Amino acid sequence: MSSDMLNKTPVLNSIYRLQWEPAQQGYVLLYPEGMVQLNGPASEILRRVDGERSVTQIVDDLQLSFPDAEGLIEDVEAFLVEAHEQNWISL
C-alpha cells in the first residue's frame, strides 16, 4: 500500500449510517431508502472508520483483533478503494 493511503483518515459520508441489525445478525449500511448488507470483513473495517483513525491505525487495530490474519493491509486498502468508489466514505 502506498504511504499516501496509509496516512489518510477515512470518514463515513453523512448520507450513510452503519448499524448492527439484530434481525439480520449482521451490519448494514443504511442510506436514503436503501440498504447494503455487509459481510464480516467489510463490517470490521467500516466499524473502525470513525473520521479519527488513520488507515494505519485501522490496520493495526484489526491486527490486534485478528492476530492470525494475513495480508490485512492489502485487504483494507482494496476495500477502502471500493468503498470510496461507492461513495460510502471520503478519504
Partner 1 sequence: MSKTGSPCNGAPATLNAGSDLKSIGQPLWLLAELTYKCPLQCPYCSNPLDFAAAGAELTTEQWIEVFRQGRELGAVQLGFSGGEPLVRQDLEELIRAARDLGYYTNLITSGVGLSEQKVANFREAGLDHIQVSFQASDDSVNAMVSGSEKAFQQKLKMAREVKAQGYPMVLNFVTHRHNIDQIDRIIELCIELEADFVELATCQYYGWGFENRDWLMPSIEQLTFAEARTNHWREELESRGSKMKLIFVTPDYYEERPKACMNGWGSVFLTVTPDGTALPCHSARMLPIEFAKVTDLGLKEIWYEHPSFNQFRGFDWMQEPCRSCDEKEQDFGGCRCQAYMLTGDAAAADPVCSKSSEHSQIVAARRSDSDRIETESDSFIYRNERNSKVFFRQG
Q: Please give the residue ranges that form the binding site for partner 1 (CB under 8 A).
A: 14-15, 17, 19, 21, 23-24, 28, 30-37, 87
In the complex, the smallest distance separating the C-beta of residue 75 from partner 1, rounded to whole angstroms, is: 22
Identify which of residues 15 and 78 has a Cβ nearer to partner 1 in the complex: 15
Torsion of CA 69, 74, 75, 78, to 10 degrees: 180
Minimum CB separation of residue 14 from partner 1 in Å reads 7
User: Looking at beta carbons only, is 35 or 78 nearer to partner 1?
Assistant: 35
Q: What is d(CA 88, CA 91) in angstroms, rounded to the nearest whole number?
A: 10
Q: How many CA atoms lie within 13 A of 82 on its CB side?
A: 10
Q: Which is nearer to partner 1, 3 or 39 (CB)?
A: 39
Measure CA of the first residue to CA of the last residue in the chain; give whole Å.
Answer: 14
